[in-house]
Amino acid sequence: MEGREQAEEEETRITKPTWTERFTYWRPDAKFLGMGMNGGWRHPLPVYEFTCPKHGLMRDIPRGYEEALVCPECCREVDDGLNDRHEKVLRVA
């Protein structure tokens, strides 16, 4: 879907977190920056800052049922790459 991809390229606006949000969204593996809103999202989502071993400091929202934080650049490489690249990324993780 072209429209959805364009929306995800928009810059995410992050609001300064309240104490309640800091408490609610705290996690040990990443720094909670605040609730973010993006043209491509229906609701504000918690945005985290974390370090990717390959790409350095990254920002993203938790994905999937396990709320995993995955480097967006690594995801893009998996999406764009061939199967052998995909396997390499999975082995690193």
CB 26 within 8 Å of CB 32: yes
Kindly tell me which of 35 and 71 has the beta carbon lying closer to Zn ion.
71
Q: Which residues in 12-32 are b (16+ Cβ under 10 Å) and which e?
A: bebeebeeebeeebeeeebeb
Q: Is there binding between residue 85 and Zn ion (CB under 5 A)? A: no
Q: Which spans in the chain are helix H?
A: 2-9, 19-25, 72-80, 83-92
Residues in contact with Zn ion, shown as a per-residue x/- string from 27 to 66 under the rule CB under 5 A = -------------------------x-xx-----------
Nearer to Zn ion, 37 or 52 (CB): 52
- Residue 59 beta carbon to Zn ion: minimum distance, rounded to whole angstroms: 12
73 touches Zn ion (CB under 5 A): yes
The footprint of Zn ion (CB under 5 A) covers 52, 54-55, 71, 73-74
